[in-house]
Structure 1
Amino acid sequence: MVRTYEEALEWIHGRLRLGIKPGLKRMEWFMEKLGHPERRIRAIHIAGTNGKGSTVSYLRHILQAAGYSVGTFTSPYVEQFNERISVNGKPIGDKEIVKLVQVIKPLAEELEQTELGAPTEFEVITAMMLYYFGKKNIQDVVLIEAGLGGRLDSTNIIYPILSIITNIGYDHMNILGETLDKIAFEKAGIIKSGVPLITGAEQPEAWTVISEKAASLKAKTYRLGEDFFIVRHVPITDGERFSLETPFSQYPDLKITMFGAHQVQNAALAVMAAEYLRMCYSLLIEKEHIYEGLEKAKWIGRFERISNKPLIIIDGAHNEEGIHSLVDTVRSHYPDKDIHVLFAALADKPLDKMIPPLAEIAETITFTSFDFPRAASAEQLAELCDHPNKATTDDWKGWMKETKKQKRSDALFLITGSLYFIAEVRKFLKK
């Protein structure tokens, strides 16, 4: 019997050894044993290559501003494991984690003895979340972020009231496929019969797959740039300002405090989702709730300013699209700064495509590694870069300490790469 929080986490994380096992058979078994808690959840399902967490944050803050209680399921966590299951942005307590494990662990052990085999870490966490929001703490709305892909993801056991696909890009290609249409096919797997879809998918080959899937399931689609539109976007000192036109209303001069054109797109998806909930589910969401929610929304570890003197920004740009969005944001907001980059990443990422864009904006670029099984070495990363001012270090904490001593007003110290690395950096800087 698990009795402490530490024991609970040890059991959960111990299941990482089982790897990734796509498919829903084990989740169907779990839900049957638990009395189908997923059927009692008013869920919104969010998939996509990037922007899922930010879109969740925008929509959560809008709904909270309107007075609703909102559950969220997100990954990975940055500060503590409990973040993954939160209520109104507050992670559930250690005791609640223990109680959930006490329910799920015996079932996982029973499942392991069947022909379906042992459930993975993500499957048991998903089961914990569905049991929590379906049986123990029912919310007005629950925003559920897909873990990997969509079609065979554990979260796809739900039947939501609305689906959102943020965008399509190259990530997890060893599992999802090496072309945009194959990746889009996996993401489009969250689309359900008659359940509307809101999407920011831009590429024609991705959109073709998504639109055909939606049409086959009679799922009404709202596509950014086609059915609702961003107009007059301008970067401002503390974020972005833009106007939005939807089929239902117009929103002049919206403001967000997250940086980048990609965050404007994520915010637009959240507004469209809120509009749909207001029009089709009679949720009492007024315009002022949308303005207030967007401005309050934050997502840690994403272009987050940690220090002003010196200027230090951390960003979990962990794939090719994330790097390009980061570079564009730096150029639009800090065109006159000397950029000094610290970069660490996982070895299974498309590093040859991620490093050159960073090198283009960098005055200096330093590569490092961190304590994680799949982390690339500093030397591996440096070999992919021909920047004249490149360096390697095995002591990123020492690099950070030296950086904190800098007084130059013309410098921006940009720490980026794996979200697991950013979590470590953020923890160190906060201490």
Structure 2
Amino acid sequence: MSSEQVPEALVELERAAELTESTLAVEGAGFSVLDVTPAVGGQLITVQGIAGRYDDLFLPLFGRHQAHNAAVAIAAVESFLGRGTQVLDEDVLSEGLAGATSPGRLQPIATDPTVVVDAAHNPHGAKALAEALPVAFPSEHVVGVVGILGDKDARGFVRALKGTVETFVVTQPPGSVPSTRTPSPRSSWTRSARIASWSSRHSPPRCSRHATWRTRRTPRTPSCSSRAPS
């Protein structure tokens, strides 16, 4: 089973299936997501499986990409139990999906204000996050606290989110190697920057590795501030 793939990846999957004398079912041809409706605590999905159609299944996960993941799982179970010919019991299927969890993927951990954590770490994951946030957690002002390792595509990650996130608070993940590069105030992906620092116990202000990027403001030169984050 596979979700939809770009042509280059699909060619490799088809080659692997041929070498192992396996059958490959790909979303969009063998099965598909027919409908996704936001719901309290998740979403309602309608899936056309390999063997049958399943309407209004509650999935306690956020993001359309999770609906596609569920469709792959349904098709896999259909193939395993009846080689794609046996329709699944909807009560059993509903119970199984209702217990699905995906820690760290659009996971709400606090309210007032709403705080959501997501482990996206590349532009593809950031794009899925950007598409899901306004639907699952609509807000007039979204602040993204971001920590990206040095071997990741940080620019591509921020570009994917900049249409959804109003303000970026950039920090260093635990255990990562500090960057020696300073972002340019004229950088096309930062638009503008305000480098802020703070310290507990009221020590004198100093510039630190924590930075805030506002993506919808006029570019300005980074400045140092001692104001602590709220």
Report the TM range for the smaller structure's normalisation: 0.7 to 0.9
**Structure 2: gaps of 5 or more residues:** 200-230
- The answer to which structure has the higher helix fraction is 1
Which residue does the alignment assign to 2:147?
A: 344
TM-score (normalizing by structure 2): 0.75
- Between the aligned partners of 2:196 and 2:181, the Cα distance in structure 1 is 6
Structure 2 letter corresponding to 1:387: R
Structure 1 letter corresponding to 2:191: H
Cα distance change on mapping 1:339 and 1:221 into 2, 3 Å: same
**2:176 equivalent to 1:373:** yes
Deviation at 1:249, TM superposition (A): 1.6
Cα distance change on mapping 1:201 and 1:229 into 2, 3 Å: closer
- Between the aligned partners of 1:368 and 1:393, the Cα distance in structure 2 is 11
Q: Percent identity?
A: 22
Name the SS for the 1:223 alignment partner.
coil
Cα distance change on mapping 1:388 and 1:222 into 2, 3 Å: same
- Aligned residues of 2:60 and 2:99 also touching (Cα < 8 A): yes
Deviation at 1:302, TM superposition (A): 0.9
Which residue does the alignment assign to 2:10?
A: 207
Name the SS for the 2:103 alignment partner.
coil
Q: Structure 1: which 4+ aligned runs deviate by more than 3 Å?
A: 373-385, 387-395
**2:140 equivalent to 1:334:** no
Deviation at 1:393, TM superposition (A): 5.2
- Between the aligned partners of 1:287 and 1:343, the Cα distance in structure 2 is 40
Structure 2 letter corresponding to 1:250: R
Which residue does the alignment assign to 2:113?
A: 310
- Between the aligned partners of 1:237 and 1:271, the Cα distance in structure 2 is 22
- Between the aligned partners of 1:308 and 1:369, the Cα distance in structure 2 is 25
Deviation at 1:229, TM superposition (A): 1.4
**Structure 1: gaps of 5 or more residues:** 1-197, 396-431
The count of aligned residue pairs is 196
Which residue does the alignment assign to 2:61?
A: 258
Structure 2 letter corresponding to 1:204: P
Cα distance change on mapping 1:394 and 1:277 into 2, 3 Å: farther
Structure 2 letter corresponding to 1:308: T
- C-alpha offsets along residues 223-271 of structure 1, whole Å, 9 cap, x if unaligned? 1111011102222232121111122121111111111011011111111
Task: Return the match for 2:81 from 278, 282, 291.
Answer: 278
Cα distance change on mapping 1:373 and 1:308 into 2, 3 Å: closer
Structure 1 letter corresponding to 2:125: G
**2:47 equivalent to 1:244:** yes
Deviation at 1:345, TM superposition (A): 0.8
Name the SS for the 1:338 alignment partner.
coil
Cα distance change on mapping 1:292 and 1:354 into 2, 3 Å: same
TM-score (normalizing by structure 1): 0.42
Deviation at 1:348, TM superposition (A): 0.2
Superposition RMSD in Å: 2.8
Mapping for residues 12-411 of structure 1, pairs under 5 Å: 198-280=1-83, 286-374=89-177, 376=179, 385-388=189-192, 391=195
- Aligned residues of 1:227 and 1:247 also touching (Cα < 8 A): yes
- Aligned residues of 1:359 and 1:387 also touching (Cα < 8 A): no
